[in-house]
Amino acid sequence: KAGVTQTPRYLIKTRGQQVTLSCSPISGHRSVSWYQQTPGQGLQFLFEYFSETQRNKGNFPGRFSGRQFSNSRSEMNVSTLELGDSALYLCASRRDATNEKLFFGSGTQLSVL
């Protein structure tokens, strides 16, 4: 069974641009969540999607958004990039909202220049 797949692995953007990151969950998993990891702030919850609906969002500005498709694949978008958005973005999936076992992908490393 394939794990959580995130694309691309690495991304370089400049300030002011926008970026879209993709996440394919484990087959059969309906919940996808996103986390930002930086050396300064550590790991922070961005948002979770279940059945195409955002269940909750962490303390991030509106420039961070996401969506989930009917096949459970998810994308997150960051508009008007800032230097501080440079981070490792991790996606995780779980079978459903009642299952506590999260499976993570290897992340997308975003560098904003």
Partner 1 sequence: AQTVTQSQPEMSVQEAETVTLSCTYDTSESDYYLFWYKQPPSRQMILVIRQEAYKQQNATENRFSVNFQKAAKSFSLKISDSQLGDAAMYFCAYRSATRGGADGLTFGKGTHLIIQP
List residues near partner 1 by CB under 8 A: 33, 35, 42-48, 55-56, 58, 88, 90, 92, 97-98, 100-107, 109
**Which of 55/63 has CB closer to partner 1?**
55
Q: CA of 87: how far to CAs of 43, 45, 77, 99, in Å?
A: 10, 13, 14, 27
Shortest separation between residue 31's beta carbon and partner 1, angstroms? 9
63, 95 Cβ separation under 8 angstroms: no
**67-85 CB burial, b ≥16 within 10 A, e <16:** ebeeebebbbebeebeeeb
**Which of 48/85 has CB closer to partner 1?**
48
**Which of 15/55 has CB closer to partner 1?**
55
Shortest separation between residue 16's beta carbon and partner 1, angstroms? 27
29, 91 Cβ separation under 8 angstroms: no
**Which of 3/73 has CB closer to partner 1?**
3
